[in-house]
Amino acid sequence: MTVPARGHTVAVAALLAISLLSGCGAKSTAAGARPNRSPVASVPGALPRPDHIVLVIFENKAYQQVIGAKSAPFLTSLAHAGANFTNAHGEQHPSQPNYIAQLAGSTLGVKDDSCPQDLGNQPNLARQLLDHGDTFAGYSENQPGIGFTGCNSPDGSYARKHNPWADFANIPTALNLPLSALPADLTALPTVAVLVPNLCNDMHDCPVASGDAWAQHHLPSYLDWARTHNSLLIVTFDEDNGTNANHIPTLFVGPMVHPGDVAGRIDHYAILRTMEDMYGLAPLAEAATTPPITGIWAPGR
């Protein structure tokens, strides 16, 4: 969804006007239902095109449990360093539908955490990127091996319900990777990389402090590199701690981002739409009626 513009181009201002007319203030219900809305046209060149995006997805925490919390000093520092979305929301409860929505622009009828899901060749961001000549990979901590399709790791620290790219037949198994396969040479990162910590480090089974410590260990090297390599970090959560509001932390950090709190309402579809518009991809399903995120981009980016 759009946010107040901060002195941008006419194209971005026009997109903001379209967004407002399309009803960007409408809220999804806890069940994920959305009002009928008209498609929102893309504006070529209105958004920056990062060389790389790293999207990190944590679990089951409300905004106020993380941003500003004593147990999350690192994630709070990232919120201050980038665009901190104070009105971000998940689509549904429980976890799995939100992961699928983030990748496919729809929950594709999935309403629970049952495993395995077989979503066949339905459209998704990974397939879009590959067909466009870009690249994608998903990295899951403690996943037993490349292309693993089991529902859980033997030690129970990995769960396929948090790994939607394992559910699509049109995403190559070679792109379904353990976190240990993340390249040390960051220039070898795919265009879009999704990182999912294990069930402790994503805050599902462990306190917020565990996830914050994981983030502090894994993300600074990418952030330092991203500042000089036109790359973007997105941190979000699948859902909150079970409320109807489903109010989650979400933040964008990178050299193209103007820091500050952002009050406009967004969700996983808005994040997906933003990434699709960045790379010139046709928006999928609910993303087609969801405006991309504007008003946060630094001038000239």
**Does residue 18 register a pLDDT over 60?**
no
Mean pLDDT is lowest, of 2-11, 39-48, 188-197, for 2-11
CATH architecture for residues 50-285: 3-Layer(aba) Sandwich (3.40)
- The tens digit of pLDDT for each residue in 164-190 reads 999 999 999 999 999 999 999 999 999
Amino acid at 274: T
Q: Cis (ω within 30 of 0) for the bond into 178?
A: no
d(CA 228, CA 248): 29
24 compared with 153, residue with greater pLDDT: 153
Spatial CA neighbour of 58 closest among 240, 218, 266: 240
107 compared with 35, residue with greater pLDDT: 107
**Does residue 30 register a pLDDT over 80?**
no
**Does residue 246 register a pLDDT over 70?**
yes
* Predicted pLDDT at 35: 63
Spatial CA neighbour of 31 closest among 97, 85, 88: 97
**Does residue 132 register a pLDDT over 60?**
yes
- The tens digit of pLDDT for each residue in 188-226 reads 999 999 999 999 999 999 999 999 999 999 999 999 999
C-beta of residue 45 within 8 angstroms of C-beta of residue 187: no
Structural domain boundaries of the chain? 50-285
**Does residue 69 register a pLDDT over 50?**
yes
Q: Terminus-to-terminus CA distance in the chain, angstroms?
A: 19
* Predicted pLDDT at 34: 62
- The pLDDT-based confidence of 278 (bands split at 50, 70, 90) is very high
**Does residue 59 register a pLDDT over 50?**
yes
**Does residue 10 register a pLDDT over 50?**
no
Summary mean pLDDT of the chain: 90
In angstroms, the Cα distances linking 291 to 8, 58, 77, 207, 252 are 16, 24, 27, 34, 17
Q: What is the mean pLDDT of residues 43-63?
A: 96
